[in-house]
Amino acid sequence: MKAVLFCGGLGTRLKEYSETIPKPMVEIGARPIIWHLMQYYAYFGHTDFILCLGYRGDYIKNYFLHYQFLASDFTMTHGGRDVRLARNDIADWTITFVETGLHSNLGMRLQAVESYLADQEIFLANYTDGLCDLDLAAYLDHFQRQNKIASFLAVRPSQSFHQVAFDASGLVTSIEAINRGDLWINGGFFIFRREIFDYIRDGEELVAEPFQRLIAARQLMTYRNPGFWACMDTFKEKKMFDDLFERGEMPWMVWNKHVGR
C-alpha cells in the first residue's frame, strides 16, 4: 500500500530550524523526523512512499540520494571506485519524489500525485511532523470494515494549555489540562480510498471543503489513538522529542522498542 507524505510546508512556527532546512528534515537523534515516520510505516509492511515536495525539496532529495553514504556502513576501496555496503536499512523502500508546488495546500499536493496512485484502491497519507505508536494494522482493519472513503487519527492535543468552561456571566465552571478533557483533534495518519479525489475541487484545502463534503455524505471516519502521539510544530516540541530520545523513551519506534542511541 502506498503512503503519500506531505513534505512541502514552510514550517514557520519552527523557524529556528526551518529557515535553513525543511521541517521534515529536523532531526530526532541522528535521523530526520520523516525517516522515523517512514520506518514506522515500513514496520507494518508499507514501503512504497510518495513524497509531496515543496519548500527545500532539493534538501530532501539529496538526503535520500546520498543516504547509503550518510547513514549506512560501507567499505570503500580503490580510492572510492568500489563501494560495498555493510548494511542499508532502507534498501527495500521505494521512494517517488514529486514537486507539488512551493505554496500548494494539502488538497493541491494530493491532486498533484493522483497519477502515481492509479493502481491503489486504498492508500495512506500523512503530515510529516507527527509520530505515534498506533497499531496501524488494527487501524487499517477498522477502516476496511467500515467501508468509508476517508479516515484520520483522532488524538488529544499535546500542548500544555488549559481548557476553560464558563457561564454567560464569565463565572468559570471548570478548568483542566487540554489533553485531559474530551477534546480531540485531527492527528493525520489518513487512510483514503481513490474516491477521495471526487470530493476535492481545484485549489481546495484537504481538511476544509473536501472533508465537509465527506461528512455530509457520511463517508468520513475517525479512529481514536489510545497511546502516544506528538507533533513537532514548535521549538518546545522539538526539545520534547530530543529529551525523550536522550532518555531512551521512544514509544513511536514500534519497529524496535529497545533502540538505543
38-53 pLDDT, tens digit per residue, is 999 999 999 999 999 9
Is residue 74, in this structure, part of any structural domain at all? Answer: yes
**So what's the pLDDT on residue 13?**
56
**So what's the pLDDT on residue 258?**
44
All cell numbers assigned to 51: 513524497
Average pLDDT over the chain reads 86
67-120 pLDDT, tens digit per residue, is 877 666 667 776 656 666 656 778 899 999 999 999 999 999 999 999 999 889
What secondary structure, in 3-state letters, does 19-38 show? Answer: CCCCHHHCEECCEEHHHHHH
Is residue 205, in this structure, part of any structural domain at all? Answer: yes
**So what's the pLDDT on residue 163?**
73
Residues 53 and 61 sit within 8 Å (Cβ to Cβ): yes
How many domains, in total, are found in the chain? 1
**So what's the pLDDT on residue 220?**
96
Angstrom distance (rounded) from CA 68 to CA 63: 9
Is residue 196, in this structure, part of any structural domain at all? Answer: yes
Beta bridge partners of 229: 132
Angstrom distance (rounded) from CA 49 to CA 94: 6
Q: Which domain holds residue 187?
A: 2-156+183-246
CATH number at 29 reads 3.90.550.10
**So what's the pLDDT on residue 180?**
64
DSSP letter for 233, please: -
Is residue 251, in this structure, part of any structural domain at all? Answer: no
Give yes or no for residue 21 having a pLDDT over 90. no
CB atoms within 10 A of CB 67: 16
**So what's the pLDDT on residue 169?**
78
Is residue 167, in this structure, part of any structural domain at all? Answer: no
How many residues belong to the chain?
261
Is residue 53, in this structure, part of any structural domain at all? Answer: yes
Measured CA angle at 184 (ends 51, 215), to 5 deg: 70
Distance, C-alpha 62 to centroid of its chain: 20
Angstrom distance (rounded) from CA 131 to CA 84: 33
Give yes or no for residue 11 having a pLDDT over 80. no
Measured CA angle at 218 (ends 214, 219), to 5 deg: 55
All cell numbers assigned to 208: 476544509
236-251 pLDDT, tens digit per residue, is 888 999 999 999 889 9
Identify which of 257, 192, 233 has the alpha carbon closest to the alpha carbon of residue 40: 257
Is residue 253, in this structure, part of any structural domain at all? Answer: no
Paired sense of beta strands 185-186 and 150-155, if any: antiparallel
All cell numbers assigned to 239: 526539545
What radius of gyration do the chain's Cα atoms show? Answer: 20
Give yes or no for residue 18 having a pLDDT over 60. no
Sign of the CA dihedral 92, 51, 113, 229?
A: positive
Global confidence as pTM: 0.86
DSSP string, 127-179: -SSEEE---HHHHHHHHHHHT-SEEEEEE---S--EEEEE-TT--EEEEEETT
Give yes or no for residue 24 having a pLDDT over 80. yes
Residue linked to cell 503530515: 127
By CB atoms closer than 10 A (0-12, 13-18, 19+), residue 33 is: buried
Give yes or no for residue 197 having a pLDDT over 80. yes
**So what's the pLDDT on residue 160?**
60
Is residue 29, in this structure, part of any structural domain at all? Answer: yes
Give yes or no for residue 122 having a pLDDT over 90. yes
